[in-house]
Chains A and B, each alone.
Chain A
Amino acid sequence: MAHADPISLKVSDLRKSHRPGPDVVEVLRGISFQMTAGDSLAVVGPSGSGKSTLLHVIGTLDRPTSGSVEIDGRIPHDLPEPELALFRNRRIGFVFQDHHLLPQYSVLENVMLPALAFSCGGGEAPARARELLERVGLGHRLAHRPPELSGGERQRVAVARGLINRPGLLLCDEPTGNLDGAAAEAVAALLFELHRQERNILIIVTHSLDLAAKPDRRFRLTEGVCSGI
């Protein structure tokens, strides 16, 4: 079984503010931490505390107001858009609360999607996607469409998709938020099992205390300030 490339993550004095109206809202106020391959982290906190924003900035979906995110010693936010897209495609995997599966594609194709973004990586994608779907227990649903799956199944597909390119950094935003207890437990177990197998950095943003208890580390984000790292 191939592992993800060894990776390191360094977040330094990360700040993010918005100006939705006349006032500036500081969402993140100087977050700093480091992680290496095989680490896992849970970020908890009340709604609006900046959890998802932190995840998006680390995942290069958003830019910091100040501070930096270094991944393997590189600052991806400094990259131009095409290179940033390639960087994100190769290094970072996402699992969203709403899974964001595309209804026009089959389960297999949804999982393959990140591998199709750059043609150089597409050759082994079908086999890898099948393998991942076998590992998440959906090897028998390859040709099904997302609307034909349950919520838990969809999230498992999303997990498989997040891992298709063997990212060193897997970011999960409330991965069990829309699932009932049993399904949430199953998805959480799957995530950590795959995390161990892939030896990537896993960061989970969650409200769930059960899920938050699983990573090696956790911290609480309150009004943009973290505690308990």
Chain B
Amino acid sequence: MRGSLRDLALERLGGIERAVVASGFLREDLLPGAAPAILLKGTAIHAVSRARATRINVVGIDDAFPDLYPTGAPELETLRASDPALPPVVLNETLARELSASPGDAILLHVPRSADAPPDTVLGRRDTAALVTTMRCTVRAVMPDRGPGRFSLDLDQRAPRDLFLALRDLQKAAGRAGRVNLLLLSVGAREDPDPAGTLANALDLEDLGIILSRTPDFISLEARQFVLAPGLAEAIDSAAASLGASLQHVQTSLAIEMRAGDRSIPYSTVSAVDPLGAPFPGLTLVDGNPVARVGDGEVLLDEWAAEALGAPTGATMELDYFELGESERLLTATTTLRLNGIVVMTGLAADRTLTPDYPGIRDARDIAAWDPPFPMNLTRIGPRDEQYWDRFGATPKAFVSIETARRLWSTRYGSLTAMRVAPPAGQDPQAFMLRLAREIKTRIPLESAGLRLRDLREEGMRAAEGTTDFSALFLAFSFFLIVSCALLCGLIFRLGVERRAPEIGVLLATGYPVRSVRRRFLAQGLALAGAGAALGLPGGAAYAGLMMLGLGSIWRGAAGSGDLHLHVGTASLLIGGAVSIGTVMIAIAWSVRRLGRIRVPALLSGDLTPAGGSRGTRAVSWIAFSCLGLAAAMMIGAMLAGTASSAALSFGAGAAALASALAFFARWCRAPRRWRAIGAGRGAFAAMAARNCSWNPGRSLLSLALIGSACFVIVTVAASRRDSGEEGPAALDSTTGGYSLFAEAEIPLHEDPGTPQGRADLGIPDPAGGIFDATAITSLRVVPGDDASCLNLYRPERPRLLGVPGGQIRRGGFRFSGLARPVANPWDLLREPIEPGVVPAFGDEASVLWILHLGLGRDLAVDDELGRPLRLRFVGLLEGSPFQSELLISEEDLLTHFPSRSGYAAFLIDAPVGKTAAVSRVLEETLAPHGFDATPMADRIAGYSQVENTYLATFQVLGGLGLLMGSLGLGIVVARNVLERRGELATLRAFGFARGKLARLLLMENLVLMAFGILAGTGAALAAVAPQLAVVGRTGGAPWIAIGLTLAAVLAAGMASTLVAVLGALRAPLLRALREER
């Protein structure tokens, strides 16, 4: 498995070693030698069939990309012949299959549109047209899912859906000419000892999102996204201080309206500048005095505004402004300020550059021509306002303190629109600007600028180690199979030793020490084991190959890929061979150990009958009761621990119970009371059968162990199967949380589809039936990351995160298998602070335990958006939930640590019964440009269950093989017993026991063994699964009827094979048997 994952990782990378991944856009020629590309997640729709594919990799490439793959990519060469009107694209096989597209077909491609202002800000645009670019393309070629056809930055064994188009076409569509968000570094990059340093040197401030400009008095630094992120502001602060320069903070925002009395001014800009005064241009009051500072809660108006409002100094005025509410809703808020003075419209008061150049505003001829992202009432604008616009443009009309500005307009994106740095006196402004830029650059971590330098090859190799240690998993589930094989080996060898008892007797009688005889047998065993291992290793490899074939075909549900191939390593073979030989030698040593305890005359006569009936009974009793006690203790422990950490305890309980049952059988065989006389009557026959079973306890025990072990695996696995259809969608505390649909959007929504207004903004029609009246939609923010579910075989490096909004936390629901502490509403735990740098998180139990290998109360270390370490502590584990691919934290925590994640990309939908399909269809159709994809909750959970069940199916095969071994062992025991007992049977026949009667006797003997083995294995399995079933109260999901039928089939098959052996033996001539006995 690891080998296949490594191969897949290397194949998708080709010659790519590292990549610079930007959340924004960089110069395409930033790093000489790097292949520039744009990688966007998008949605494609076939223009004719309307077949849709979401979550596709839209890759804009130039000529350098195919060269990264040694295999080349002739299909990508077709992109050279560009057609701007209908850009050509190349699809990989997977995407082409999903779209049913072939060369010549037209497809519509939706990709996210890049915007400077974050959509969830006042100046951000949030309508679909602003967020999504739609292109009509022509399929030029379809390339295989190999090499570049598997290109993806995601760690997933499943073939990606790749769509390639010419870089310039995608740049044009994205409005980012000459810019890329991905730089791919090939093999040569490996020789660079300091790739991060190389990248940092190549970057300029613009690449980091800072726009730098110079005036005669100062250098202005603004952010491309209009607000300087805190990290950038800190770096500028620090750099200016290090150069001894003066620094000024600027915040300019929009006031919807300023009112004083009955007068008002609409749509004005308001600035906060701190500090005021030299060396920067300052504000001057109308009385000629400079303004030293503006106090918190105070405002200064320019002359024009003061006149318009007719407000005297000292008057109180109101200011309406936009603020963001829950679900990114734009709300109008009002603050009251005291007019502290009027400034003349010179100097800073006449500085147009205080207001950033907002697109849609800066180029407008007049205010009426504004095209702002926020709602605007044009009727409020009068001739005076237009006159101001004509003379002063977007120059602020009012000034507040920086504290007031922060209080009103600060967002998680930052609180400053500009920073101004004045060089120390006497310094050359140009030279200072260069020094300042250098100093700032060194102080900005790449992550703060949305850049990541990823070592893709190393990531791939690391993740290829896999989430699931398949070696350990298969070894664990093969444990009983291995034990069965070892027991069978020991049994066969023991039978061989017994047959050669006279030979051993002769050797001992002629003076060979016991040790020497043992060595002789061990040497022979070693030779046999070596030969067996030599034959078995290719057999093992063939078996592993079959398993891989199964995982790639009939069990594809578990692996998710047909590209898994057998990788046989020398070390694996050597270890496997050594372990096999070692196991067999232990079994053989166990078989020959008792040679010294048998008397030589007995050996000479071929009689290996144990001398004493009660020898070792006490030890066996001790083992039996100890194991029983251990099983009970582990079961109780498992129940107390809850399902989250009870797996090992449960398995241990089952194993101990099985060991106890076997020991009790051994005890029964050895107990003196078994010599109680067989009475007359009907019970005599059964008593004879039981006596015969116990006569050779070693063999019977081995048969029992084989059958019992196989049944243990089969029943445990079968009882662990998940039935996703066990519950309806309505129950709040069900695994679906009462939701009927789980939806995802490739391009986040910035309107709430759960509200009528949000749906109206998104253009979602509500047909006459009013399907949305009773539909509740919970929107969640998403931090993209690796799939943390069992669907992904790679180890997730950065699991996908969902931000749970307050509404969902209050609503509660879903089923938990473990909580950090008992609480009425488990979701409240997501809001309980833990400690700095630690965030409470929920995860699905299966993902946390088996994929992340963590548990309740344990931490997962991740990096936040700025590359700082962050720990997610699991305070709750969900059971069988739809959240197996991601982890959940509160929306507040998500925005704190991942502030740039705007919009909602995951949705929990509670649609009325019977309207689920209609809701799903309307949302998918309307929001198709966003790549909106809704899945019934039951299907989503069933998808995960299917993987688990597929794994279980593979383990059932292992159990079946164990059963095969058990049956084979039983067959050998029966055949050997019948062979040995030919004389006995002949004697009984001589005394009038008919063949049929003897056959029934032998069948009853084996029925006793099989029934006990099945009961022991089943009982042990129930002991193993009982704690899990008891804790989660899930008993209906296990296919008990199927289990019962399987066990009945096991019994029937075992009895049938026994019957064949028995009838064969009884058909032998009676007299020959009597003579041979002699």
User: What's the nearest-Cβ distance from chain A to residue B602, in Å?
Assistant: 9
The reply to whether A85 and B609 form a contact with Cβ atoms under 8 Å apart is no
Known: A98-B1077, A104-B695. A82 touches B994 (CB 8 A): yes
B48 on interface, CB distance cutoff 8 Å: no
Known: A56-B1071, A85-B989, A116-B688. A100 touches B983 (CB 8 A): yes
The reply to whether B680 and A123 form a contact with Cβ atoms under 8 Å apart is yes
Type the 1/0 row for A34-70, where 1 means its CB is closer than 8 Å to any CB of B. 0000000000000000000000100101100000000
User: What's the nearest-Cβ distance from chain B to residue A183, in Å?
Assistant: 19
Contact of A86 among B607, B986, B990, B992 (CB under 8 A): B992
B993 on interface, CB distance cutoff 8 Å: yes
The reply to whether B992 and A100 form a contact with Cβ atoms under 8 Å apart is no
A62 to B996, CA, bound (A): 19
Type the 1/0 row for A81-103, where 1 means its CB is closer than 8 Å to any CB of B. 11001111110001011101011
The reply to whether B983 and A125 form a contact with Cβ atoms under 8 Å apart is no
A189 on interface, CB distance cutoff 8 Å: no
Within 8 A of A (CB), among B974-1029: 983-984, 986-997
With a CB–CB cut-off of 8 A, which chain B residues contact A124?
A: 680
Stretch at the interface among B14-22, B329-337, B671-679: B671-679
B691 on interface, CB distance cutoff 8 Å: yes
A116 to B986, CA, bound (A): 15
The reply to whether A81 and B994 form a contact with Cβ atoms under 8 Å apart is yes
A139 on interface, CB distance cutoff 8 Å: no
B1070 on interface, CB distance cutoff 8 Å: yes
With a CB–CB cut-off of 8 A, which chain A residues contact B695?
A: 103-104
Type the 1/0 row for A176-202, where 1 means its CB is closer than 8 Å to any CB of B. 000000000000000000000000000
With a CB–CB cut-off of 8 A, which chain B residues contact A89?
A: 991-993
A123 to B1074, CA, bound (A): 29
A169 on interface, CB distance cutoff 8 Å: no
Known: A82-B994, A113-B991, A114-B992. A100 touches B1074 (CB 8 A): yes
B684 on interface, CB distance cutoff 8 Å: yes
A147 on interface, CB distance cutoff 8 Å: yes
A115 to B688, CA, bound (A): 13
Instruction: Please name the residue on chain A nearest to B681 by beta carbon.
Output: A122
Q: Which of A97, A103, A104 has the most CB of B within 10 A?
A: A104
The reply to whether A61 and B1071 form a contact with Cβ atoms under 8 Å apart is yes
The reply to whether B684 and A116 form a contact with Cβ atoms under 8 Å apart is yes
With a CB–CB cut-off of 8 A, which chain B residues contact A97?
A: 1078
Contact of A102 among B984, B989, B992 (CB under 8 A): B984
Contact of B1074 among A61, A86, A145, A147 (CB under 8 A): A61
Instruction: Please name the residue on chain B nearest to A126 by beta carbon.
Output: B680
A211 on interface, CB distance cutoff 8 Å: no
With a CB–CB cut-off of 8 A, which chain B residues contact A145?
A: 675
A145 to B675, CA, bound (A): 9
Contact of B681 among A62, A87, A123, A143 (CB under 8 A): A123
The reply to whether A106 and B677 form a contact with Cβ atoms under 8 Å apart is yes
With a CB–CB cut-off of 8 A, which chain A residues contact B609?
A: 103, 147
User: What's the nearest-Cβ distance from chain B to residue A47, in Å?
Assistant: 13
Instruction: Please name the residue on chain A nearest to B688 by beta carbon.
Output: A116
Instruction: Please name the residue on chain B nearest to A57 by beta carbon.
Output: B1071
User: What's the nearest-Cβ distance from chain A to residue B675, in Å?
Assistant: 6
Contact of A117 among B681, B692, B983, B997 (CB under 8 A): B997
With a CB–CB cut-off of 8 A, which chain A residues contact B991?
A: 88-89, 94, 113-114, 117, 161
User: What's the nearest-Cβ distance from chain A to residue B992, in Å?
Assistant: 2
A100 to B1078, CA, bound (A): 8
Known: A98-B1078, A100-B983. A62 touches B1071 (CB 8 A): yes
User: What's the nearest-Cβ distance from chain A to residue B601, in Å?
Assistant: 11
A105 on interface, CB distance cutoff 8 Å: yes
The reply to whether A82 and B681 form a contact with Cβ atoms under 8 Å apart is no
With a CB–CB cut-off of 8 A, which chain B residues contact A105?
A: 678, 688, 691
A114 to B992, CA, bound (A): 7
With a CB–CB cut-off of 8 A, which chain A residues contact B997?
A: 85, 117
The reply to whether A81 and B995 form a contact with Cβ atoms under 8 Å apart is yes
A161 to B994, CA, bound (A): 18
User: What's the nearest-Cβ distance from chain A to residue B997, in Å?
Assistant: 6
User: What's the nearest-Cβ distance from chain A to residue B230, in Å?
Assistant: 87
Known: A81-B994, A85-B993. A104 touches B678 (CB 8 A): no
With a CB–CB cut-off of 8 A, which chain A residues contact B685?
A: 116, 119
A136 on interface, CB distance cutoff 8 Å: no
Contact of A112 among B607, B680, B1077 (CB under 8 A): B680
With a CB–CB cut-off of 8 A, which chain A residues contact B821?
A: none
B811 on interface, CB distance cutoff 8 Å: no
Instruction: Please name the residue on chain B nearest to A104 by beta carbon.
Output: B695
A143 to B676, CA, bound (A): 8
With a CB–CB cut-off of 8 A, which chain A residues contact B986?
A: 100
User: What's the nearest-Cβ distance from chain A to residue B729, in Å?
Assistant: 62
With a CB–CB cut-off of 8 A, which chain A residues contact B675?
A: 106, 143, 145
Instruction: Please name the residue on chain B nearest to A82 by beta carbon.
Output: B994
Q: Which of under 10, 10 to 19, 20 to 34, or 35 or more describes the interface residues of A?
A: 35 or more
The reply to whether A104 and B691 form a contact with Cβ atoms under 8 Å apart is yes
The reply to whether B994 and A85 form a contact with Cβ atoms under 8 Å apart is yes
B682 on interface, CB distance cutoff 8 Å: yes
A73 to B494, CA, bound (A): 51
Within 8 A of A (CB), among B644-683: 675, 677-682
Instruction: Please name the residue on chain A nearest to B613 by beta carbon.
Output: A145
A108 on interface, CB distance cutoff 8 Å: yes
Instruction: Please name the residue on chain B nearest to A90 by beta carbon.
Output: B992
With a CB–CB cut-off of 8 A, which chain B residues contact A161?
A: 991
Contact of B996 among A82, A94, A96, A116 (CB under 8 A): A82
With a CB–CB cut-off of 8 A, which chain B residues contact A112?
A: 678, 680
With a CB–CB cut-off of 8 A, which chain B residues contact A104?
A: 691-692, 695
A33 on interface, CB distance cutoff 8 Å: no
User: What's the nearest-Cβ distance from chain A to residue B686, in Å?
Assistant: 11
With a CB–CB cut-off of 8 A, which chain B residues contact A125?
A: 680
User: What's the nearest-Cβ distance from chain B to residue A50, in Å?
Assistant: 13
User: What's the nearest-Cβ distance from chain B to residue A208, in Å?
Assistant: 17
Known: A97-B1078, A100-B983, A105-B691. A117 touches B678 (CB 8 A): no
Instruction: Please name the residue on chain A nearest to B691 by beta carbon.
Output: A104
The reply to whether A115 and B680 form a contact with Cβ atoms under 8 Å apart is yes
Known: A104-B692, A116-B684, A116-B685. A126 touches B677 (CB 8 A): yes
The reply to whether A85 and B992 form a contact with Cβ atoms under 8 Å apart is yes
User: What's the nearest-Cβ distance from chain B to residue A228, in Å?
Assistant: 26
With a CB–CB cut-off of 8 A, which chain A residues contact B993?
A: 85, 89, 117
A153 on interface, CB distance cutoff 8 Å: no
With a CB–CB cut-off of 8 A, which chain A residues contact B688?
A: 105, 116
User: What's the nearest-Cβ distance from chain A to residue B776, in Å?
Assistant: 74
User: What's the nearest-Cβ distance from chain B to residue A97, in Å?
Assistant: 7
Within 8 A of A (CB), among B73-96: none
A33 to B987, CA, bound (A): 27
Within 8 A of A (CB), among B439-453: none
Within 8 A of A (CB), among B1025-1078: 1070-1071, 1074, 1077-1078
With a CB–CB cut-off of 8 A, which chain A residues contact B1074?
A: 61, 96, 100
Contact of A119 among B682, B987, B1070 (CB under 8 A): B682
With a CB–CB cut-off of 8 A, which chain A residues contact B692?
A: 104
Type the 1/0 row for B693-719, where 1 means its CB is closer than 8 Å to any CB of A. 001000000000000000000000000
A109 to B988, CA, bound (A): 13
A106 to B680, CA, bound (A): 14
With a CB–CB cut-off of 8 A, which chain B residues contact A96?
A: 987, 1074, 1078
User: What's the nearest-Cβ distance from chain A to residue B1063, in Å?
Assistant: 13
Instruction: Please name the residue on chain B nearest to A121 by beta carbon.
Output: B680
Known pairs A100-B1074, A117-B994 / 6 extra A-B pairs, C-beta < 8 Å: A105-B678, A105-B688, A116-B684, A119-B681, A119-B685, A122-B684
A-B contact pairs, 8 of them (CB 8 A): A61-B1074, A87-B992, A102-B984, A104-B691, A106-B677, A126-B677, A143-B675, A147-B609
Query: Which 4 residue pairs are nearest across A and B when measured between Cβ atoms?
Result: A89-B992, A85-B994, A114-B991, A122-B680
Interface residues, chain A, CB within 8 Å of chain B?
A: 56, 59, 61-62, 81-82, 85-90, 94, 96-98, 100, 102-106, 108-109, 112-119, 122-126, 142-143, 145, 147, 161, 165
